[in-house]
Amino acid sequence: MSSQKKRDQLILHTALTAGRIMIENGSEIERVEDTMTRIAHNAGAETSQLFVMITGILMAINGEVGAQIQPVKRRTFDLEKIAVVNQLSREFAAHDITLRQFADKLDHLDSETKYFPMWAQLLAAAMVSGPLEVVFRHNLHDFWISCFVGMIGWLVFYLLNKFIQIRFLSEFAGAATIGILAVFAVHLGLGLSVDDIIIGGVMPLVPGVPITNSVRDVLAGNLVSGPARAVEALVSAAAIGFGIAMVLQFL
Amino acid sequence: MTLLEFFIEVAGTYVSTLAFGVLINIPRRALNFGGWIGVLGFLLYRFTVLSGGGYVVGNLLGAFAIGVASLQAARIKKMPMILFNIPALVPLVPGGQAYQMIKNFALGQNATAFVFMMQVVMISGSIAFGFLLSELVNRVQQRAWRHRR
């Protein structure tokens, strides 16, 4: 293989990996296109053609290698990785790192996950539920029980997501847990209003990333990926709704 | 609304925006900014509703402010814009109305449920439209920046 061909191969590999990491972790399509074009341009490719969708990327640059496809299989929300790719792309544009280093760092980033520790995430789930219950419903009495119910609901959601990996089932189970706990809490006299506890408790499960991204994608003219994300958000919301509705119907 | 209630609302909005940021793993450097943008959007919404502007206009203004402020934060911090506007949007989500809709559908009171469904649709639409308007401002600003350079 000639060195030019190797170089082109590396450019394609780097740009496609960067794009895949960004889509997998919840970036909007326009940013992915922008970053990949910049990487190719800064690496010395004269032209680049891109086709980015939420389930896969197709990219070609001028030169000796053909176009390549990168499927996007899983989808999680880890916005730190998007920020890191963004930062690496800036460093590459400023010639602080070489293309080879960039590719290595991306491969490394892909394999590691640096979430907040578990206790911090549980605390965060509690701190989404309780304060929003007070903000929405002005019911200070149910603050602590909302925190607790929201935390347990989110824990169920998290564990199911991690070990079973059936999409939308985890939202359903989390919401059902929240509903059952809220009804029992009121039965036991720990809370005043089932409605308020449930409203606070489901807030950590709200699909915030797909909602925001679907609006931004549609506005940027990505008429395939935008509605696809909107469907994702709607099905998540519907799963939460079914979980709550089932509990309210039976208890 | 007393002053104490007002402070509780602001603190609750800030804390919950920050905590949602932790759940979707936003870098630590961006968390504080996101929290304040959330408070800004929520305050605009709240004051509009208190002064009789209605919840549709309130959500529109809130989403608009979040969109514009996020771009400024992204420019200052040199980080992607979605790190700021996703958590900031959470306090505007029509959680209460969506819950009432589900509850009334589950209990078979469809007429009431449809009223709440209309509200959810209107609020979601106004948030989306607020984002659209902020995007307009952002594009104009970007063009102005490019011309100046």
Tens of pLDDT, residue by residue over A80-115, are 999 999 999 999 999 999 999 999 999 998 888 778
Whether the per-residue pLDDT at A63 is higher than 80: the answer is no
The mean pLDDT value for A43-50 works out to 87
Å from B60 to nearest chain A CA? Answer: 14
pLDDT at position A2: 78
Q: Which residues of B touch A245 (CB under 8 A)?
A: 102-103, 105-106
Mean pLDDT across chain A:
90
For residue A69, the cross-strand partners are: A58
Model-level ipTM above the cut of 0.95: no
Domain that holds residue B110: 3-148
Give percent above pLDDT 70 in chain A: 100
Give percent above pLDDT 90 in chain A: 62
Cα dihedral angle (B1, B2, B7, B9), rounded to 10 degrees? Answer: -30
pLDDT at position A4: 84
Q: Which of A153, A160, A199 is nearest to A177 (CA)?
A: A153
CB contact under 8 A, A135 and B18: no
Whether the per-residue pLDDT at A167 is higher than 90: the answer is no
Of A125, A204, A248, the CB nearest to B103: A248
For residue A51, the cross-strand partners are: A58
How many domains, in total, are found in chain B?
1
Å from A7 to nearest chain B CA? Answer: 29
Q: Is A193 left (phi over 0), alpha (psi -120 to 50) or beta?
A: beta
Whether the per-residue pLDDT at A223 is higher than 70: the answer is yes
Distance CA A57, CA B112 (A): 45
pLDDT at position A62: 82
pLDDT at position B149: 63
**Which whole-number Å values give the CA distances from B83 to A17, A57, A209, A234, B118, in the listed order?**
21, 23, 10, 22, 30
- Which residue stretches of chain B have pLDDT < 50? none
pLDDT at position B53: 84
Task: Find all residues with CB under 8 Å of A124, minimum gap 6, and list them.
Answer: A116, A204, B18, B19, B20, B22, B23
CB contact under 8 A, B24 and A125: no
Cβ atoms of residues A48 and A34 within 8 Å:
no
Whether the per-residue pLDDT at A243 is higher than 70: the answer is yes
In sign, the C-alpha dihedral spanning A95, A96, A99, A103 is negative
